[in-house]
Chain A
């Protein structure tokens, strides 16, 4: 009974679908989170009679043949990188990117990670770091007795120091873009790392052609739309039930045969 295993692939796919949806809903309030979407593809086909085969001695050709599919698989879980809405926070170290580009972060093991979450802070030694204390590249140190730090649209960081009339430039925020941003690998903590699928990072300053600009005092929200997720959840649940019904029907048919000789 092939239908049993075919329906099982359908149930597995919908289970994966629900997992992805629940992760999106769980991250509804995660800064810079990009929603994901499970995408499905049909599995291999078993050709029992090939289309075009000759069916009789007179040379009649089978127009279609018998092809039976083996079910469904999860082709990819795709990250949708569309812009999330921004919320004003009033915090000087909260930065949002409007447009393309990710902040660069140095991981403790020296690798570079990328993030859209710009909820930064200052470490004990004055460096601008992420929530987890990872340094934001290329590395900006905020001097002591600073009154106000301002970040321009193009990423220039200036500090107003107590007792000084003019503010001083202390660094430049750099952004990274990728040929295939969806190819980045998520490692948790709002961080993404480069893969062969994403390609090498292209570095640039905010507001350069192809790069977004910086909004200081704002954070980018998750781009999850709760209504969309809930409707997707309902659809996934129904699809799961229908696959279960197919298993049920296959089971009943097997039972009919099992009871035949009673």
Chain B
């Protein structure tokens, strides 16, 4: 009977984490380039001592991993010269104090040294991995669909778009950034849209249904706990009556 309690408890623990993940998705539904996370559950068979409880093992649940949904968010027109959205797979590469990072958030600006930077001030890298310099006096930046940045008709830089064989190698680090142990491969002909940003790929309706499902499952686990508790009380009652 204790097993029912542990099983229900394991369910409640993973549901609490699932709720935290859903809450994070909902909170980031207006974060540009944000990718939604989901929790996957897995059965965990715990071996227990059969002599004392009668069962040889008990099936619990654990949250094996959170996985990120890398599908593209929709694009929103912003009319800004330095807002970029990647069409298709790939990430912009960013130089940060803790190494190269990757992002789908292409809202860039120029800092006081003329470098193309993210909102947090980190340098945006070109296809070769070098910072991109913009001359503020050379007129507006025009980007081709292949991510070539031009000023006054001359090419200034090629925006770097990097791809990974397995996006699961990327881990989130906040500030809309991902880090990876392996470096991404530069895409030879990327598709970049100027004047657009990629919105969050969180589906608010799905998030709300997830929310309902989580709270209902939580209720059910609680009911299981309660039922087990009642059974225990009855057992104590009946057994003490015969004695």
Interface on A for B, CB 8 Å cutoff? 1-4, 6-7, 9-10, 13-14, 17, 39-45, 47-49, 51-52, 62-72, 75-76, 78, 80, 82, 177-180, 182-183, 196-200, 202, 209-210, 235-236, 238-239, 242-243, 245-246, 249-250, 252-253, 256-257, 260-261
Contacts and interface: CB of A to CB of B under 8 A. Distances in A.
Contacts of B175: 41-42, 75
Contact of A198 (B15, B28, B105, B112): B112
Given A45-B174, A242-B204, A260-B226, A9 B16 contact: no
Given A42-B172, A51-B171, 13 more contacts: A1-B16, A2-B20, A7-B27, A45-B173, A63-B168, A65-B171, A66-B66, A75-B119, A242-B208, A243-B26, A246-B27, A250-B19, A256-B218
Contacts, number: 205
B31 interface: yes
Contacts of A257: 12, 222
17 contacts: A3-B20, A40-B31, A42-B172, A62-B65, A66-B66, A67-B172, A68-B37, A69-B28, A78-B107, A177-B137, A197-B112, A210-B139, A242-B204, A245-B208, A246-B27, A257-B222, A260-B222
Interface of B: 12, 15-17, 19-24, 26-32, 34, 37, 39, 63-68, 78-80, 105, 107, 109-114, 119-120, 136-139, 168-169, 171-176, 181, 204, 207-208, 211-212, 214-215, 218-219, 222, 225-226, 229
A242 to B, nearest CB: 5
Nearest to B82: A182
